[in-house]
Chain A
């Protein structure tokens, strides 16, 4: 077992525990804090896979921006800061059955499809390679995404502003 596998095991365990706490904790703010573990763990996995640009984008956008936005959402809806049992609905058991079913199906299919395939990390993906790919092959989707972001920005302002 190489050091990469040890690091993977630690990150994976932290991410799974964090994710389970996000969906089961009784305090809304704690869910946001456990989400940090999941998002930072994903960034760690990208570093393990030598995808450094995506790892930094993950830290900047998810941990930096989206999480602050979610905390704002928690504050603006005056979520209960103390433990509350009203955060779950009464579909807990059906939801558990559905998600375990999907998990079993996915894992059985993946185990069958990619039995012993290995990830070979030859060298790190440089930012230059990603930039080449974005601005040659994916330049139209890139522009579409920028229009989408502009639309989302204007839409969020229009939706959340008070009409008075």
Chain B
């Protein structure tokens, strides 16, 4: 198997995630797009770890998974707080700081 087939797949998934973050209004959908991007990075880490025969890439992937779990926890708490204050989960209505 070529290394590049994994890297291309990860690049495509990352860009789909970028599109989702830029084009979605609903806060939970933006968090899902961020998860897609984190997964693309993890695929890269594992592919390189196997390619250079070095286990630390997999340890890094495990750290990324842990940080992603923390991010989703805090992110959803913030989403629920926004929903409670604005009665809407749509991110473009969070514009109190807009000039």
Q: With A95-B19, A122-B53, A125-B55 in contact, is A160–B80 under 8 Å at CB?
A: yes
With a cutoff of 8 Å between Cβ atoms, the chain B residues found around residue A10 in the complex are: none
Contacts of B69 in A (CB 8 A): 61, 65-66, 149, 152
Complex contacts, A46 vs chain B, CB 8 Å = 46
Instruction: Give residues of chain B (1-23) contacting chain A, Cβ–Cβ below 8 Å.
Output: 1-9, 11-20, 22-23
Interface size in chain B (residues, C-beta < 8 A): 68
Interface SS of chain B: helix
Contact A110 B72 (CB under 8 A): no
Interface string of B61-92 (1 = CB under 8 A from A): 11101111111111011111101000001101
Say whether A95 contacts B22, CB under 8 Å.
yes
Q: When the two chains form their complex, are residues B65 and A70 in contact, meaning their CB atoms are under 8 A apart?
A: no
CB distance from A19 to the nearest CB of B (A): 4
Q: Which of A94, A99, A115, A153 has the most CB of B within 10 A?
A: A99
Chain B residue with the shortest CB-CB distance to A93: B23
A92 an interface residue at 8 Å Cβ cutoff? Answer: yes
Shortest distance from the beta carbon of A17 to any chain B beta carbon, whole Å: 10
> Taking chain A's interface residues, is the majority helix, strand, or loop, or is none over half, making it mixed?
helix
Q: Which residues of A contact B28 (CB under 8 A)?
A: 28, 70, 73-74, 77, 79
B6 CB contact (under 8 Å) in A45, A94, A153: A45
B60: nearest chain-A partner, CB-CB: A138
Question: Which of A8, A45, A79 is B46 in contact with, Cβ under 8 Å?
Answer: A45
Q: Given the known inter-chain contacts A19-B17, A87-B25, please indicate yes or no for A49 contacting B46, CB distance below 8 A.
A: yes
Give 4 nearest A-B pairs by CB, closest first. Answer: A23-B20, A95-B22, A152-B70, A159-B77
Q: Which residues of A contact B (CB under 8 A)?
A: 2, 4-5, 8, 12, 15-16, 19-20, 22-23, 28, 31-32, 35, 38-39, 42, 45-46, 48-51, 53-54, 57-58, 61-62, 65-66, 69-70, 72-74, 76-79, 86-89, 91-92, 94-96, 98-100, 102-103, 106-107, 110-111, 114-122, 125, 129-130, 132-134, 137-138, 141, 145, 148-149, 151-153, 155-157, 159-160
Where the two chains meet, the residues of B that have a C-beta atom closer than 8 Å to any C-beta of A are 1-9, 11-20, 22-29, 31-33, 35-36, 39, 42-43, 46-47, 49-51, 53, 55-56, 58-59, 61-63, 65-74, 76-81, 83, 89-90, 92
